[in-house]
Amino acid sequence: MSGMVDHARELVRGAEQMGLSLTERQVELLLGYLTLLNKWNKAYNLTAVRNPDEMVSRHLLDSLSVLPFVSAGRWLDVGSGGGMPGVILAIMRPDSEFTLLDSNGKKTRFLTQVQLELGLGNMQVVNSRVEAFTPDQLFDGIVSRAFSSLADFTNLTRHLSGPETQWLAMKGLYPDSELQALDADFTVTHSEELAVPGCQASRHLLILRRTAQG
């Protein structure tokens, strides 16, 4: 129990350092997700991070760092894996809809369990390859956390976007070489170096848009 109290303290403190205020319910849900991630990780290998103490900064706070850039609307988390950042964003943005897509059946089974146990009615789980995914509606925003190169990320999701869609790519080091391979109709509208409490590694967010229909 003391571990959970420590995690709650670290989570709230870290969020405050990023200018975010968490409600008691949000803290409860985020820690509930952490508990499920730690439990299922033993059998499903959802993340290389084994220590729950590290998971607070490397998964919860890292995902929360992009929250200010996520506007209300329909969002797709591509290659969601263990649910970062999609689950965290769904918890924090109940006014928006989040589709978490992954081709790995074990990972989507875990995400479905998270959706059920945490009661996240604004979260949908899809087990599919992204190129085969054909939703009823296009997305306002598409986010990925280390899913693939920027060129693959944008090209594989191009069919899921409308003229106003934003792509949010969470990266470690600033991806200079990846930017050179980007298709001409995509442009970076904003880049941000993210400071994630408890995480020493470099973190960057790139926001992209299509400059022309193609």
Q: What is the pLDDT of residues 151-197, one digit of tens each?
A: 999 999 999 999 999 999 999 999 999 999 999 999 999 999 999 99
111 confidence band (pLDDT: 50, 70, 90)? very high
Beta strand 161-171 pairing with 139-145: parallel
In the predicted structure, residue 214 carries a pLDDT above the cut 70: no
Do the Cβ atoms of 118 and 88 come closer than 8 Å?
no
Q: Which amino acid is at 211?
A: T
Of the candidates 181, 183, 196, 151, the residue with the CA atom closest to the CA atom of residue 169: 151
The pTM score is 0.95
